[in-house]
Amino acid sequence: MFYHIQNIRAINRIGPHNQDVLSIIIGSVLGDAYLNRRSGEGVRVCYRQSQIHKEYLFWLYELLYNRGYTTNLPPRQYTRTIGIKNGTLYYGYEFNTFTFRSFNWIHQLFYKKGKKVIPENIAEYLTPLALAVWIMDDGGWTNSGVRIATNSFELTEVKLLNEAIKSRYNLDTTIQKIYIKDKYSIYIKKQSITALISIIGPFMHPSMLYKLGINNTI
């Protein structure tokens, strides 16, 4: 099935989906992407990144386009104003996948009453590629370790994510309270960074290696 043909109805885009595609989507949904349910059709994945992460977004687009999951039109630029008074213009790029009915189960897994949630069996889906995409989206290098922003999730969900990382990859992690009330992040400690790099390094885009404390290509 050639998914990239635009006039194929969502009902006919049924998969099956390769593990790498599912890993990209799962990692993206854990991070900055969101799932959009389209009435009577199915679900699409919506991607958006700031100007400084343009290379990374275009890389994601190419991965999905080459597998037939999005149009041949490249990501479009968008602008928005931050702040009501003397607002600052914010530039970025965005694209969406095609709509698939066979994405409905992912939406059911990660959304409850319109809110993004973490399923109890998240460890099953946290492949090295999914972890890499998640860290490229929400990770940051700090104090010789990697902090993953999880402030959009409840503490019980952050605990699920933290346990998934520990149980699947035996990494030394901790949950840290952040400056926002009742919000938390996951911190991968210095002593586990070498192991983390060996796990996700092969999947990282070069522009995102700084999030692992690396300034050159692996």
- Do 107 and 126 belong together in one domain? no
Residue 11 has pLDDT above 70, yes or no: no
- CATH number, position 81: 3.10.28.10
Q: Which residue has the higher pLDDT, 135 or 13?
A: 135
Looking at 54, 80, 115, which one is the last position of a domain? 115
Name residue, tokens 């520990």: 166
pLDDT at 1: 44
Q: Which residue has the higher pLDDT, 141 or 40?
A: 141
Mean pLDDT of the chain: 91
Looking at 115, 143, 177, which one is the last position of a domain? 115
147 beta partners? 140, 187
Residue 106 has pLDDT above 50, yes or no: yes
The stretch 101-108 carries a mean pLDDT of 95
- Do 177 and 145 belong together in one domain? yes
The stretch 13-38 carries a mean pLDDT of 89
- Do 95 and 194 belong together in one domain? no
pLDDT at 116: 97
- Do 99 and 153 belong together in one domain? no
HEC string for the chain: CCCCCCCCCHHHCCCCCCHHHHHHHHHHHHCCCEEEEECCCEEEEEEEEEHHHHHHHHHHHHHHHCCCCCCCCCCEEEEEEECCCCCEEEEEEEEECCCEHHHHHHHHHHEECCEECCCCCHHHHCCHHHHHHHHHHHEEEECCEEEEECCCCCHHHHHHHHHHHHHHHCCCEEEEECCCCCCEEEEECHHHHHHHHHHHHHHCCHHHHHHHCCCCCC
- Do 29 and 97 belong together in one domain? yes
- Do 138 and 126 belong together in one domain? yes
| Interacting residues of 97 by C-beta distance below 8 A, sequence separation 6+ | 44, 45, 46, 47, 64, 69, 70
- Do 68 and 132 belong together in one domain? no
- Do 40 and 132 belong together in one domain? no
- Do 1 and 94 belong together in one domain? yes
- What's the number of domains the chain is made of? 2
pLDDT at 85: 63
What is the per-residue pLDDT across 31-78, written as a single tens digit (0 to 9) for each?
Answer: 999 999 987 789 999 999 999 999 999 999 999 999 999 999 999 999
- Do 111 and 124 belong together in one domain? no
Its domain, for residue 93, covers 1-115
Looking at 80, 115, 150, which one is the last position of a domain? 115
115 beta partners? 112
- Do 43 and 55 belong together in one domain? yes
pLDDT at 215: 80
Asked whether the beta carbons of 28 and 133 are under 8 A apart, the reply is yes
Q: Could you tell me the pTM of the whole model?
A: 0.89
In the chain, what percentage of residues exceed pLDDT 70? 89
- Do 129 and 39 belong together in one domain? no
pLDDT band at 217 (very low <50, low <70, confident <90, very high): very low
User: Residue 192 corresponds to which amino acid?
Assistant: S
Asked whether the beta carbons of 110 and 120 are under 8 A apart, the reply is no
pLDDT at 17: 85
What is the per-residue pLDDT across 77-96, written as a single tens digit (0 to 9) for each?
Answer: 998 877 666 667 889 999 99
